[in-house]
Amino acid sequence: MINTAPMGGNGGIPADFSSYPYIGQRRIKTSADSAMVEAALNDTLFTVSGSYAVLDGESLSFNLYPASDLIVRAVSVDGDYQILAYNDHATGSADGIFTAISVNLIADDISPTQGQLFYNSTAAGSVFFSGSGSIMPAAVAGYGDKPSFLVPNNTGATKTIRITITFEEIGPREPLFGLTSSTLLQPTTEMSNYG
């Protein structure tokens, strides 16, 4: 049941200070700033992005590989394309692995969470969020979870689609194993040294 009356009855805290309108689930707002501002200041907000020229009638998917518990805060594309968030990784033809960078441009931190593009992709799992152009799913995922974000191209022409995911790390990082997109391979180095 929605309640817009002051919390605590007449003379209580105004409803505008509540973060949720349902009785029994309301919480007091503690900041007027976006949660993402605080995450950026604390060096826990990251973004990962990639693009590909997608043929008409095909889809582009971005598989996210979390290396910590995280909250997917926003997903956007550079046009009014539909975005479908799935709870499993898409399949298709792979094109590149992308590393996340900190939104705090003063920091040198690089998140071990990665993303990979798949073109001519096929979704897997179930849709848990969708929208057009930009979505804010606030989805929580952790190491081993497989969120993916699919963007179909139904424009009648080949289009280059860029997808950008903004996420906040909320837990300790898992050890990264294997190669990343920035790994500099040395011909005389044992592969086990890379991860």
**Residue 195 above 50 pLDDT?**
no
| pLDDT the model gives residue 77 | 97
| pLDDT the model gives residue 96 | 86
| pLDDT the model gives residue 26 | 59
Q: Write the DSSP string, 17-82.
A: GBS--BTTT--B---SS-HHHHHHHTT-EEEEEEEEEE-TT-EEEEEEE-SS-EEEEEEEESSS-E
**Residue 184 above 90 pLDDT?**
no
Residue 38's pLDDT band (cuts 50, 70, 90): confident
For residue 191, give the 3-state DSSP assignment. Answer: helix
Triad 50, 126, 156: Cα angle to 5°: 50
Residue 76's pLDDT band (cuts 50, 70, 90): very high
In this prediction, residues 3-23 reach a mean pLDDT of 60
Full-model pTM? 0.74
Amino acid at position 27, single letter: R
User: Are the beta carbons of 66 and 145 closer than 8 angstroms?
Assistant: yes
**Residue 183 above 70 pLDDT?**
no
The size of the chain, in residues, is: 195
| pLDDT the model gives residue 15 | 63
On the CB side of 63, how many CA atoms lie within 13 Å of its CA?
23
Q: Over pLDDT 90: what percentage of the chain? A: 59
| pLDDT the model gives residue 45 | 94
The residue assigned the tokens 């890379």 is 194
| pLDDT the model gives residue 178 | 53
Tokens of 160: 């280059």
Mean pLDDT of the chain: 84
Report the range of poorest mean pLDDT among 91-100, 101-110, 175-184. 175-184
Complete domains list, the chain, with CATH: 35-172 (2.60.120)
